Amino acid sequence: MKIKQILKKNLKYNLVFLFFLNFLITTTMNAQSSVVEGKITDASGLSLPGVNIQEKGTKNGTSTDFEGSFKINVTNNKATLVISYLGFQTQEVNIAGKSKINVSLAEQSNSLNEVVVVGYGTVKKSDVTGTVSTISAATITERNTTNALEAIQGSTAGVQITSASGRAGDGYKIVIRGNNSLLSDTSGTSSTTVGSTPLFVVDGVPLDNIDFLNPQDIARMDVLKDASSAAIYGSRASNGVVIVTTKSGTTAKSGINVSFNTSYGTKTAARLPEFMNSQEWYAFNQSAFLSYPATSQTPQALATASTGNSPLLVKRYNEGFSFDWVDAILKPGSTQNNYLNISGRGDSGLSYNIGLGVQSDEGLIDNDSTDKYSFKLGLNHKINDKFSTGVNITVARIDSQLGSDLAMQDAFRLPTLLSPWAVDANGNDIVGQLTLQPGKITQPGNATLVLDRTSNVNPLMEIANSSQTEKTWQTVGNIYFQYQMLKWLSYKTTFAAGVVNSVTGISNTANTNQGILVKGNSSSIRNYNNFNFTWDNQLDLKHTFNEVHDFSLLLLQSIYSNTDQNSYLYSSNQPFESGIYNVGSGSPSTYSFVAPTPETPYVKNQLNSYAVRLNYAYKDKYLLTASNRWDGSSVLSKGNQWESFPSVALGWKINKESFLQNSSVISDLKLRASLGYTGNDNVNAYASQALLDQQTFYANGSNLVAGWQSKNLANKKLAWEKTREVNFGLDFGLLKNRISGSVDVYDRLSTNVINSRQLPYETGYARTFDNVGSVSNKGVEVSLTTKNIQLDKLKWETTFIFSKNINELVSINYQETSDIGNNLILGSELNPNFHYVYDGVWQESEATEAALFGAKPGNGKLKDLNGDKKIDANDKTVIGSSVPKWQGSFYSKLTFGQFDFNFSVITSQGQTVYSPFHRQFEDVTDRNRQRVKMDYFVPTNGAGVTPNASNEAPRPGPTAGGNGAGATYLETTNTGLVGYAFYRDASYVKVKNISLGYTFNTDLLQKLKLSNLRIYINVLDPFVFTDFDGYDPEWAGAAIGVNRPSSITSQFGLSVNF
């Protein structure tokens, strides 16, 4: 406590002190006699302000003013001026006695000369020593998606991006260079883990995701993949860092620039799995009611058992009834994207960027949508040569309507013999009068069920009467102040803050599944508030000694603070359908303030950090980067809070060596080698403190007595998770960079990996956070861009990307052997599919063998791996790989005259996932709901059902009788429902988008007073090649309630620059 106060005080005084110093300190300039002046413009004649002009070989320099004019005193009239400007090729001009020089700078075309954002600064791309991938604004907007991560799927080697569920607004998951964190995804929907999410830094604000951003607001993304480049972010960088820079106005051109983009697209469900039709389902249902043994059952007995209570079902079957539920629910969705951007640079040194975005994404069913409104403002003011300041704010409003978790799954669950309508006395549909439970039908005036099947609710009513909204305000912004004290020394202070306010409202009227359960209307509101800030103070020192030794040094001090607050309200039995807007109207006895999955009402964590980084280049050939960061985290245990994260990286620009300097083949060649350390403290803020966080209730007589205990064992020794990574990389450009690319190999070892570890039952505790072991990720990444054709009218460029990562648990801290209880299998990947192996169905000819295993013909068969004629824990093994074996992408862009055509393909190969879709729709123990078209076992019987000695799926029917699938077919575990028979290969090749555009020629535009106009059509996800027969292989692991069918989006759009 004391320390915190002292620290606070220190900061306060220091800030004030610095503030005044800024005004006190002045530097002197030496007057020179020879004066040169001039103007710097770009190729089109627009003046360029802020261009650096330096007399070669001296420290003498200046920069252009806001009209692009400069004036410099030079030592002699034969001096050479070096003119450099961000994004333009550096030029050297000999003044040759002239006193007035106008220079037109050419824009940089060679991508290797661009700058790269590396955290607290930038370096020239050619000087980068780590592995950093830059994604340009053009790439981010090319696919015209509403989510920035979807936009860059497949664009970067080693970066795995997948859709979470296909539901509008559910966002994307991103993993860089494999999982190395064990903290599991609590929703259990995927093989990736929450702890494996990289750190996003949006304009200085650290965040978990960037779903709220409008892709059009993003100027660039820089992915720090290897530990040496990420090490500058120390404790949070273990999973890589994605630095997102939004358009701030610093690069705005003078005058005013206006552009407008708009597109509209429709989205239709595609590649739907094939479900049973009425006939097939009826046959399935019949076979599921066969008795055991089935030979003695007569057709009459079967009819009584299967449909005795449901005469209406028989009537419908005989009439050939069929109702297409899926068709009734699904409708075309749409996407809309409107974006207006205004930027400019004024005479006073003020530049700005304003962005206004409206995006909407309507899902495939009603009440499934996301609307995103964004406002962004960037202001920069270069006050004079020494001072500059700026502010950059992004405000986003996201309105998501997630509908009911049940609607989509119920639409697929209901068999086609069920109808959404009530029936009249003759059993005919009363079209227009919806019934709430289509599987439980009575006729007017008679309480007896004439159809008695599933109690699933009518999705048409569920959709109309249930609502789940998430309304979020999210703001990120920063304000900075920079002071260039000397040519070689600058100071910058940046205060960056993020605010999230999110209200999740769920309401269900009586006419929903929830309504049936609680007998009336119910609603809840969850309120989430987050405030975080980061205050960075940095000093940058740059100097060149003896013309060959380039030094730059960064000194950084930073503090970070994050506060979360949660609250929850619930009631039911509300008298009116007031949705979430009158929760208090419910019956007081139903009031609840604890969410079904409770969140900690208040969480605060802090990080104090210091960092230093040195960049050194010798003769622009040999590069060295060395850095260290010290972080102290409040979430770790006393004594283990501080850790340092050093890194060192070397680069060798081989093409600058004399033997390659004149090569016509090799135009660029750089070798990189790096070693770095990063960390991870992504655990609950109070994991190392024993708190009374579990409330219990008991009564002693008539007295209600509350009690309090700790939910989990507090780990008083919880320490940092630390990752060491070695990376070797080669960047190359051949034939004047017609062929360019890079190859990286890495070896990453994470030690003291933090896991929510399940403790032995005997301890009486369920879990603790612990440093459990070491995880290795080794991989290779290749990217190759070739400019196949480069003519005036015809240009064709292609990019291949390949990445392979091997993820392996190499050791466990507390024991030598695999910890099966925590699913930590040595030598296997993290979160492996560890289970029995499904081996088909016991056939009637195998009855004797089956009996040895306590099974009967028709039951599911487990593979007896060790051949001991017994199925036990020793027969479990790792099934397939839960992570992709390799991933790749292919991108092609063709420009012909005014036309442009591009497409991208992404692929992910070799991952086996537990498929909740198949668990739901291939589960033969469920005889009341819709099933996918499949082959299943039917025993020899006397009841007139055609036998089928299938080896695919077991005999239909409840496991209760021991006749159906077999008792362990649907084995549950403590971590949720997991059936061994439902692992599927989810490899796929997906054509991500195809787009065709036309840019109108200038003559026409000039008449319209436009500078640029492009129209285009774009198709998202048009083709998928896969053996996975669920909804979509990309989200094969998504929970069934939120799982959405695959879709194809067709868009038409235009973009205009004024």
- Which of 340, 354, 395, 555: binder of other proteins (CB under 8 A)? 555
Give how many residues touch other proteins by CB under 8 A: 133
Among 486, 810, 852, 1008, binds other proteins (CB under 8 A): 486
CA–CA separation, 783 and 157 (whole Å): 7
Distances (CA, A) of 1002 to 256, 965, 1014: 19, 70, 11
| Cβ at position 795, least distance to other proteins in Å | 50
Kindly state the smallest distance separating residue 531's Cβ from other proteins, in Å.
14
Residues 203-242 contacting other proteins, CB under 8 A: none
Enumerate residues 95-134 that contact other proteins by CB under 8 A: none
Interface with other proteins by CB under 8 A: which range of 216-224, 414-422, 763-771, 946-954? 763-771
Q: Which of 638, 847, 899, 1012 binds other proteins (CB under 8 A)?
A: 638
Distance CA 107, CA 123 (A): 18
**Which range binds other proteins by CB under 8 A, 152-160, 607-615, 616-624, 1024-1032?**
607-615
Residue from the set 594, 794, 1004, 1008 that interacts with other proteins by CB under 8 A: 594
Q: What's the rounded Cα separation, in Å, for the pair 742 and 777?
A: 20
Give the whole-angstrom CA distance, residue 540 versus residue 613: 10
Per residue, the 3-state secondary structure of 435-489, as one string, reads: CCCCCEEECCCCCCEEEECCCCCCHHHHHHHEEEEEEEEEEEEEEEEEEEEECCE
Q: What is the DSSP string of 955-987?
A: --S-GGGSSSS-TTTT-EETTEE--GGGEEE--
Nearer CB in complex with other proteins: 591/618: 591
d(CA 932, CA 416): 12
Contact of 952 with 921, CB cutoff 8 Å: no
Q: Pick from 101, 460, 713, 945: which binds other proteins (CB under 8 A)?
A: 713
Q: How far is CA 596 from the centre of its chain?
A: 25
Name which of 452 and 864 has its Cβ closer to other proteins. Answer: 452
CA pair distance 890, 904, nearest whole angstrom: 6
**Contacting residue, 87, 347, 581, 602, with other proteins by CB under 8 A:** 602
Applying CB under 8 A, among 260, 630, 886, 1058 the residue interacting with other proteins is 630
User: Which of 121, 349, 632, 646 lies at the binding interface for other proteins (CB under 8 A)?
Assistant: 632
Select from 761, 791, 792, 1007 the one that contacts other proteins (CB under 8 A): 761
716-755 residues in contact with other proteins (CB under 8 A) are 716-717
CB 491 within 8 A of CB 199: no
Q: Which of residues 768-807 bind other proteins (CB under 8 A)?
A: 768, 770
**Nearest approach, Cβ of 495 to other proteins (angstroms)?**
14
Are the C-beta atoms of 1048 and 1021 separated by less than 8 Å? yes
For residue 358, the minimal CB distance to other proteins (Å) is: 38
Write each residue from 513 to 532 as x if it is in contact with other proteins (CB under 8 A), else as -, in one continuous string.
---xxxxx------------
Calpha distance 711→720 (Å, rounded) = 22
Alpha-carbon distance values, 79 to 60, 72, 89, 495 (Å): 11, 11, 20, 42
How far apart are CB 642 and other proteins at their closest, in Å?
4
HSE-CB at 77 with a 13 A cutoff on CA atoms is: 7
Please list every residue from 814 through 873 that binds other proteins, using CB under 8 A: 814-815, 817, 819-822, 854, 871-873
Identity of the residue, 455 or 940, whose beta carbon is nearer to other proteins in the bound complex = 455
Which of 854-869 are b and which e, b meaning 16 or more Cβ less than 10 Å from the residue's Cβ? Answer: ebbbbbbbbebeeeee
Contact 691, 710 (CB under 8 A): yes
What is the distance between the alpha carbons of residues 588 and 595, in angstroms, rounded to a whole number? 16
CB of 539 to other proteins, least distance (A): 6
Closer to other proteins by CB, 438 or 729: give it. 438
The secondary structure of residue 519, as a DSSP letter, is: T
Minimum CB–partner distance for residue 289 and other proteins (Å): 10
- Segment interacting with other proteins, rule: CB under 8 A, options 21-29, 355-363, 659-667, 945-953: 21-29
Enumerate the H helices of 25-160 as residue ranges. 137-142, 148-151
- Choose one: 101-109, 361-369, 634-642, 744-752; the region binding other proteins (CB under 8 A): 634-642
994 vs 992: CA distance, rounded Å: 7
Minimum distance from residue 945 beta carbon to other proteins (Å): 15
Closest approach, Cβ 970 to other proteins, in A, equals 9
Q: Judged by CB, which is closer to other proteins: 768, or 882?
A: 768
Q: Which stretch binds other proteins (CB under 8 A): 592-600, 657-665, 666-674, 884-892?
A: 592-600
Least distance between other proteins and beta carbon 172 (Å): 31
Shortest distance (Å) from residue 200 CB to other proteins: 23
Order of strands, sheet of 218-224, starting from the edge strand that comes earlier in the sequence? 132-136, 218-224, 241-246, 199-202, 205-207
Contact flag: residue 21 with other proteins (CB under 8 A): yes
For other proteins, which is the closer residue by CB, 98 or 717?
Answer: 717
* Interaction mask 670-689, other proteins, x per CB under 8 A: ---------------xx--x
- CA dihedral in degrees (765, 235, 831, 821; nearest 10)? -20
* 19 contributes a contact to other proteins by CB under 8 A: no
**Closer by beta carbon to other proteins, 29 or else 820:** 820
List the x/- string, 292-311, binding to other proteins by CB under 8 A. -----x---x--xx--xx--
- 1048: β partners: 268
Please report, as residue ranges, which positions from 404 to 463 form the binding site for other proteins (by CB under 8 A): 436-437, 440, 442, 447-449, 452, 455
Can you tell me which of 99, 348, 544, 600 binds other proteins, judged by CB under 8 A? 600
Which CB sits closer to other proteins, 737 or 813?
A: 813
Whether the bond between 588 and the residue before it is cis, its omega within 30 degrees of 0, is no
CB-based contact 145:215 (threshold 8 Å): yes
Full DSSP string of 566-600 = EEEEEEEEESS--GGGGGGGS-GGG-B-S-SS---
SS3 296: helix
Nearer to other proteins, 103 or 457 (CB): 457
Could you say which of 698, 791, 1007, 1009 contacts other proteins (CB under 8 A)? 698
Q: Does position 569 bind other proteins by CB under 8 A? A: no
* Contact in structure between 873 and 820 (CB atoms under 8 Å): yes
Contact 208, 183 (CB under 8 A): no
Q: Which residues ranging from 986 to 1015 are in contact with other proteins (CB under 8 A)?
A: none
Please classify residue 970 by burial: count the beta carbons closer than 10 Å to its beta carbon, then call 0-12 exposed, 13-18 middle and 19+ buried: buried
Nearer to other proteins, 147 or 688 (CB): 688
Q: Which range binds other proteins by CB under 8 A, 228-236, 327-335, 586-594, 1008-1016? A: 586-594
974 binds other proteins (CB under 8 A): yes
Q: How far is the CB of 897 from other proteins (least distance, A)?
A: 57
CA distance linking residue 341 with residue 355, whole number of Å: 5
For residue 73, the surrounding DSSP H or E stretch is strand 69-74
Residues in 172-191 at the binding interface with other proteins, rule: CB under 8 A: none
In the complex, least distance from residue 855 CB atom to other proteins, rounded to whole angstroms: 9
Go through the chain and tell me how many residues it has: 1058
Q: Is 485 in the site for other proteins (CB under 8 A)?
A: yes
Question: Between helices 278-287 and 299-307, what is the axis angle to 10°?
Answer: 110
